[in-house]
Structure formats: C-alpha cells, structure tokens
Amino acid sequence: MKILFLLFTVCLLLFVSGCEEKKEIHPSSKVIRVGLLAPLSRVNRKYGYQSLIGMKFANKKAAYLSNGDKIIFEIVDTNSSVLGTQKGLEYLIEKNVTAIISFVSSHNMLALKDLLHNITTPMIVTLATNDEITKLNNSISQICMSNQREALVAAHYIKDEKFINSAGIVYNSTNPYSLSLAIQFREYYKKIRGEDTFFINFANKNAIQKLRSYDMHNIEMLFSSLDAKESVTVLKVIQHRDVDILLSDGTLSDAKENTKSELALFNGAYIIEHYASNMKKSRAYKGLQKILKEDALEDSSYAFLAYDAYALLYYTLQNCPNYEQKCINALFQNSDIIQGIAGNFNMQNAKVKRKIYIDKIKDLRLIKEVVTY
C-alpha cells in the first residue's frame, strides 16, 4: 500500500511539473529603439551581414522584456567607411535611440575621436578591438577581446604553454589592428623573457623576400597579426619548414570568405578565438550555427559576438526599469555573469571577461588546445 501511495505521489508531482508553463509575457505598447551601426555594403559588408544574423537571431529568441516592452532595431549602413560611420552615428543620436551596437572596425571608430568623445548614448562595440576605444568615452564598452588581452594570451601561450623562447612576428603597419596587436605582443613576450627573432612588416616591399631568407631552425613559432590573404603568403613560405604559426582572432573566418581556393594551407595552424568547434555547445549556439550553414557560412565569430552583445543589452534593459542612460552605461561597463553564445561572460571596466580559446585548425575546424580566462 505504501509503495502504491509513493508511486501515486511521484506520478502526481511529475504531472504537475509537466503542466507548469513559463510565465507568459504580455506585450505592452512600448518599444525600445536600439541603433545598429553596420557595414552592409562595400569591403566589410560580410562582417556586417554576419553580425546582423547573430543580432536578429538573438532578438527573435527574446524580443520582449519581462514587462512586455519590445526591443526593435534602427539599422544604419556605414558603407564600410569613416564618413558613413560618422553619418550613421549622427543619425542614430538624432533619432534618440536608447543604445547603439556597433559592428564597425577600430580604424573607423578611432577616426571619429572627436565625435565619440562627446557621445552620451550607451554603446557596445563587437569588432573594434583597439584598447583606446573604451578610453574615448565612458559610454563605450567592448564585447570582443581587446588587443591587449589577445596579445597577453598569445605571449603566455607561446612562452608558458609551448615553452618557446624565440618567436618571429609578422604584421602590417598599414592596418591599425595588426600594428597594435603586434607591438603589444612583442612587449608582453619580452616581459616574460621571450625574444623576437624578427619583426617583419608586410607593408614593406621586401617583406616576403626577407621572410624567405630567414633561417627558421632556431624559430619554432611565428605570431601573426596579418589578415587572411597575407597569412596565405606566410603559410606558403613556412609550409615545408618545421615551424608553427599562431594566427589572430577572426583570421579563419576571413579566410573562408576571401581565400577559398587556398584554405587547405590553414590546416595545422594555431589560432586565438572566442570559441572552438569541439567545445560544449548550447542550444542557442546550435541554432545560430544552423542558420549560418543555411547561408553557406560556418562558425562565425562576428555572428557570435553580436549575439553576446544582444545578451548584454537585454540583461541591462531588464535591470534598468526606466532605461536611463546612467543606469545603462553603468551595466554596460560592469555587469553580473551573463549567459552568452559560447559560455558565460561579464563586463569589468568596459572590457569583456570571457573564455579565450587557443585552437588548432584541423579539417578547417577549430579544435580546442587550451582555454584561458
């Protein structure tokens, strides 16, 4: 009898819990307008397009706050230019949007220092990695890893994980991201008693010849802050030499877009990324990955970072009932733990704190080697 009663009780509890539903959100008539500053045409259109996929996916999953207010987007195309970014920013400020999420590069952002110095609209940047961005104004936060953080992780990985005391560095001084990252890596590597054997600037005409002429016997790894096309040149030079290469964030995504005929060269390289193909995937990650594949895109750090930017935005708006700028700025700068697309993250002093992966590229997939925080 006791056993029957126990079984009945268990079944009743399962039935009740099965009937429980999530609290239904009743839409209000209020909308929260958020500006999206995106390069949707010309040279950086693919970055903007992929970012927009991640943003719209996140919004579709959670368009309404718990009070029923709806988040909608005011999308502006920057034309991948400084002037387009300036006009876009001015337009969104004039529209009095609650916040701005930017998919604009560091170069275009830093070119607008005067405008950004005076902006009061809270802003999240997803692709501008230069450390100076957040110093322009306390209204700006970075959801992407900064150059400083990437350089630090790279230096410690090569020196402390791979036990390599001497590395070559390749960069391009005409690319602000590449130059900043290379200089900071060099500084950190020297601080932990590493030595750079060469510091080759691909902006110089004799760079490739110089790289070919080096005896690589004493060099076990190169650190590269070059883009995908320039990386192909380096990979061709070292492919038959016993030397590894560590690529910077986003290089494989760039390669899949711009160097399709030579993608096989990237297999075997190491890379710093926000994710790995073999990491534990959340339901949201799988859902976004499926949408990307439908557009013939695979894992995209641009789309994933946009998703996380929306997660930060949603968390902030939920915790700022009146959507006041002061409150939004405060939470964009420093937040509690938030569930992102590839794991939890939080904001500290306008910089994101998240896992960073050192991956090895195998069959053009990112296979996790080391995870750092």
For 93-122, what is each residue's pLDDT tens digit? 999 999 999 999 999 999 999 999 999 999
How high is the pLDDT of residue 254? 85
pLDDT at 301: 86
Residues 10-25, mean pLDDT to the nearest whole number: 48
Judge whether residue 219 has pLDDT over 90: no
Q: If pLDDT is split at 50, 70 and 90, which confidence band does 14 have?
A: very low
- Residue from 241, 284, 220 nearest 62 by CA: 284
Contact 335, 347 (CB under 8 A): yes
Non-local (6+) Cβ contacts of 321 within 8 A are 67
Kindly report, residue by residue over 126-142, the tens digit of the pLDDT.
999 999 999 999 999 99
d(CA 57, CA 316): 18
pLDDT class of 22 with cuts at 50, 70, 90 = low
Give the helix ranges, DSSP H, for the chain.
Answer: 2-19, 45-61, 82-94, 106-110, 113-118, 147-156, 176-191, 207-213, 228-238, 251-258, 283-294, 301-319, 325-333
Model confidence at 71: pLDDT above 80 = yes
Distance CA 174, CA 176 (A): 6
pLDDT per position as a tens digit, 317-347: 999 989 999 999 999 999 999 999 988 999 9
Backbone angles phi, psi at 53, to 5 degrees: -60, -45
Contacts of 265 (CB under 8 A, 6+ apart): 232, 235, 236, 239
Give per-residue burial for 297-320: e unless 16+ CB within 10 Å, then b: bebbbbbbbbbbbbbbbbbbbeeb
Which residue in 113, 121, 58 sits closest to 282, CA to CA? 58
Check if the beta carbon of residue 347 is closer than 8 Å to that of residue 334: yes
CB 274 within 8 A of CB 304: yes
- Who contacts 48 (Cβ-Cβ below 8 Å, separation ≥6)? 38, 39, 40, 77, 78, 80, 103
Q: Which two tokens stand for residue 124?
A: 């999240």
pLDDT at residue 210 is higher than 90: yes
* 3 state DSSP class of 142: strand
Beta-carbon contacts of residue 307 (< 8 Å; ≥ 6 apart): 54, 55, 57, 58, 284, 288, 340, 341
CA-atom Rg of the chain in angstroms:
23
The two structure tokens encoding residue 91: 């337009």
Beginning with the edge strand found earlier in the chain, give each strand of the sheet holding 70-77 in spatial order. Answer: 70-77, 31-38, 99-102, 123-125, 140-142, 351-353, 343-348, 338-340
Domains in the chain: ranges and CATH: 31-144+282-353 (3.40.50.2300), 148-273 (3.40.50.2300)
pLDDT for position 46:
87
pLDDT mean over 220-237: 96
